[in-house]
Amino acid sequence: MNYISSDLKVVGTRPIRPDGVDKVTGRAIFAADTRASGMLWGKILRSPHAHARIVSIDTSKAEALKGVYAVVTSKDFPEIASEEAFVGEGPMNFRDLSDNIMARGKALYEGHAIAAVAATTAAIADEALALIDVTYEVLPHVIDVDEAMQPGAPVLHADMFTAGVNPKPATPSNIAKVVTFKKGDIDAGFAEADVIFEDSYTTKPVHQAYIEPHACLATYAPDGQVTIHASSQGHFMIRAYTAKLLGIDMAQIRVNPAEIGGGFGGKTLIYLEPVAVALSRKSGKSVKMQMTREEVFRGSGPTSGASVTVKLGAKKDGTIVAAQQVLKFQAGAYAGSPIGPGCMCGFAMYDIPNIDVLGYDVVSNRPKVAAYRAPGAPISSFAVECAVDDLARKLGIDPLVIREKNAAVNGTKTHYGPTHSNIGFTQVLEATRAHPHWKAPLKEGHGRGLAVGFWFNIGGESSATVHINEDGTVMVATGSPDIGGSRASMGMMAAEVLGIPVSKVKAIVADTASIGFTFLTGGSRVTFATGMAVTQATEKVVDQLKARAAATWDIPVDAVEWKDGKAYPAGTNAGAFEPLDLAAIALKQGRTGGPINAEVSVNAQGAGAGFGAHICDVAVDKETGKVDIIRYTAIQDVGKAIHPSYVEGQIQGGAAQGIGWALSEEYIYNAKGQMDNPGFLDYRCPVASDLPMIEAVLVEVPNPRHPFGARGVGEVPIVPPMAAISNAIKGAIGLRMPDLPMSPPKIRAAVDAAG
């Protein structure tokens, strides 16, 4: 059933979220807050070298230390054959994943896990780490993506032969794969262009920088039952990966989803849980592990740094006739950067007849890349949106006009295959043109930038259960960890379908033993896919409620209708019965046929793509190089905002992360390949005084594939900010900053170079 044109009473309002009071009083339990009686503290020894052969590991002194109960190395994990599987947020090679959580043979980045201990206190565990003797043979390292691609660069994997190249190369390299996407005839396109613009851009690795470090509590009981409390974007993913990496049946593992303190894609991989389980198995006690902030930076999954070139050809009137892009992405220590989406997203919002995109997935001696909000798209769009902006300047055309002129519409065939349908990009551009920010007068010395963005959004597998309690209140359980307020939306959708106040509905996140399989929280999929499961389960419950009313009145079930929380006889012919409300039916559910509930599992297809446009005003201090964001407006097609406050929150949060990516965040490596800034002081995320209010404008072009029209919203907003800011800086000081971050030293250097 579809409620897109319905008169909605709950969906679209802003109730207080069900987990809110716990979170503002400090009662909410995150993984680091969990305890078990007699638990040990687990700590990981990490490689200080960016690239080294592990010659030997001597753990004997650590094992002998009083208070140490277990020490593990890669010997304690089964060897896994190279195997590609799509289990999680990207193609996953389990051999690589196993190697990443505990190095086997080689340390491939500074921070790579080498060994782990479990001891009675964290202090003793730290002492034990210092007693582990590791003999390394330090090897030359390479981090920068262009350098890693050079012949003669240190090669990380002797068995890496570039895929996607014909014939297959004879010698190994750091280029894991090459991908291309083409549309039309690029040479013909450039030949007919009146004006051509091209430029090169670079970005540095940045971290998702969730404030909560990775943490878990694991217990391996004597009978082989494993219990894990983890803060993760996917407890089913944790179960699957732990089972795979340790060779345990999934039924033996129960993962409880603790509250999660931010993820943004960085917690869709696994780092600690298999190690904690291995330590628990060896020690016979529960093991608690939490990363320090330094470990998070050095040992989890920052996104790619990249090198991108863009070449555009256009007619004098602004029609873009040719678009070419080459992207080189760091994958980190193992193959698997988001090069595919990077190649697909940059031009996805334009209708261009001739497109040629080439992408390289390149390994280098830095942590394995993990997903980060619209993986690949922010980097790709930074380059494209700066280039479109400069092309517009070259043509003497307004930046909004050039987007309007070349905008993708329903029916536009993308360069990666699908044809856009049910998209809202035109409406987003209309809202941009109509917005007061676009017309507001600009102060002297300030600059204004515009950039647009796209993300596919995904659906996938979700399960939901809806139960009617004996008093007529309702439980909604799903398998989706709540990272942004989704529990509120789940409860609201169920309340809407039942026609009852949302205060009567309680939404929870159930553990892996208590709900059907649910794919992880990410890809902007929960409101879409899990919401679909919740809605369908609630509809099944409504069918049962109608059936019970029909039985009570002894009339056919199709003579009953359900409205506003009550069963009514449908029309006067059905009989003059008083309506039966949910509580009345619930009270008798045992007698009338048994408990009323429904579980639905879906593999939701048809996720609606999201488009956004950001307008940014900046002031640039040419003396200090500091850029101040004066005004920021983020306009996005959200389909249907189930809970508008949390939709706005996603947009504001994504924009803020993009602003940090643009102006101050970067991994800084020393000559030895070690990170110089693994802390929040020198890895500079935006703070409250860096930002103005961020106005989020919700455009609603419903996605007909979701019962309420919702589209995913969380990822699109991180795509436009970097280019919007570079475009604004160009407007303010007349200089293009093509390298991220556009930090004060870089701005000063550019100002000085310009004379």
Partner 1 sequence: MPKVVLSSGSASLAFTGGVTEFEVEATSFRRLILELDKRFPGLGTQVEESMAVAIDGEIFQDAYSAELRPGSEIVLIPKIGGG
Partner 2 sequence: MSKSHVTTTINGEAAEFLCETQQTLLDVLRDVVGLTGAKEGCASGDCGACSVLIDGTLVCSCLVLGVEAEGKSITTIEGIAQGDHLHPIQQKFLEHAALQCGFCTPGLIVATKALLDENPNPTETEARYWLAGNLCRCTGYDKVIRAVMDAAAVMRGETV
Q: Is 606 in the site for partner 2 (CB under 8 A)?
A: no
SS (H, E, C) 139-170: CCCCCCHHHHHCCCCCCCCCCCCCECCCCCCC
Would you say 220 or 455 has its CB closer to partner 1? 455
Q: Is 716 in the site for partner 1 (CB under 8 A)?
A: no
Residue for token digits 């963005």? Answer: 453
CB 651 within 8 A of CB 634: yes
Identified binder of partner 1 from the candidate list 51, 420, 448, 504, rule CB under 8 A: 420
CB 335 within 8 A of CB 96: yes
**Token output for 493:** 């959708």
Q: Residue 135 has what DSSP assignment? A: E
Distances in whole angstroms, Cα of residue 298 to Cα of each of 29, 93, 110, 242: 26, 21, 7, 22
Distances in whole angstroms, Cα of residue 517 to Cα of each of 338, 491, 537, 654: 25, 19, 15, 28
Residues 6+ apart with CB under 8 A from 205: 302, 303, 304, 305, 330, 366, 666, 667
Identified binder of partner 1 from the candidate list 1, 2, 91, 593, rule CB under 8 A: 91
Question: To the nearest whole angstrom, how small is the minimum distance from the Cβ of residue 292 to partner 1?
Answer: 23
Q: Which of 655, 656, 638 is nearest to 647 (CA)?
A: 638
Q: Which of partner 1, partner 2, none has residue 210 at its interface (CB below 5 to 8 Å by kind)?
A: partner 2
Q: How far apart are CA 66 and CA 241, in angstroms?
A: 32
Question: To the nearest whole angstrom, how small is the minimum distance from the Cβ of residue 418 to partner 1?
Answer: 4
Largest CA distance in the chain: 89
Q: Is 539 in the site for partner 2 (CB under 8 A)?
A: no
Q: Is 219 in the site for partner 2 (CB under 8 A)?
A: no
Identified binder of partner 1 from the candidate list 293, 413, 446, 748, rule CB under 8 A: 413
Identified binder of partner 2 from the candidate list 88, 111, 213, 531, rule CB under 8 A: 213
Q: Count the site residues for partner 2 by CB under 8 A.
A: 60
Q: Which of partner 1, partner 2, none has residue 693 at its interface (CB below 5 to 8 Å by kind)?
A: partner 2
Which region among 517-525, 644-652, 689-697, 728-736 touches partner 1 (by CB under 8 A)? 517-525
Would you say 292 or 426 has its CB closer to partner 2? 292
Q: Is 661 in the site for partner 1 (CB under 8 A)?
A: no
Identified binder of partner 2 from the candidate list 501, 679, 704, 745, rule CB under 8 A: 679
Three-point CA angle 145, 147, 152, nearest 5°: 130
Question: To the nearest whole angstrom, how small is the minimum distance from the Cβ of residue 714 to partner 1?
Answer: 8
Q: Which of partner 2, partner 1, none has residue 26 at its interface (CB below 5 to 8 Å by kind)?
A: partner 2
Question: To the nearest whole angstrom, how small is the minimum distance from the Cβ of residue 503 to partner 1?
Answer: 32
Task: List binders of partner 1 among 335-354 (CB under 8 A).
Answer: 338, 340-341, 344
Binding mask 4-43 for partner 2 (x = CB under 8 A): ----------x-xx-xxxxxxxxxxxx-xx----------
Q: How far apart are CA 600 and CA 585, in angstroms?
A: 22
Which residue stretches of 556-626 are H helix? Answer: 582-587, 589-592
Which region among 98-106, 179-187, 275-283, 686-694 touches partner 1 (by CB under 8 A)? 179-187
DSSP sequence for 258-278: -B-S--TTTTSS-SSHHHHHH
**Token output for 503:** 């205060």
Would you say 121 or 419 has its CB closer to partner 1? 419
Would you say 231 or 242 has its CB closer to partner 2? 231
Q: Is the peptide bond before 741 cis (omega within 30 degrees of 0)?
A: yes
Binding mask 272-301 for partner 2 (x = CB under 8 A): ------------------x-xx--------
Sheet (strand 580-581) strand order: 560-563, 566-569, 580-581
**Token output for 141:** 């390292």
SS (H, E, C) 370-427: CCCCCCCHHHHHHHHHHHHHHHHHHHCCCHHHHHHHHECCCCCECCCCCECCCCCHHH
What residue ranges bind partner 1 (CB under 8 A)?
A: 84-86, 88-91, 163-164, 166, 177-182, 208, 264-266, 268, 338, 340-341, 344, 358, 371-375, 413, 416-421, 455-460, 522-525, 603, 605-607, 712, 715
What residue ranges bind partner 2 (CB under 8 A)?
A: 14, 16-17, 19-30, 32-33, 123, 208-213, 259-264, 290, 292-293, 483-485, 643, 645-646, 648-650, 652-657, 679-681, 685-691, 693-694
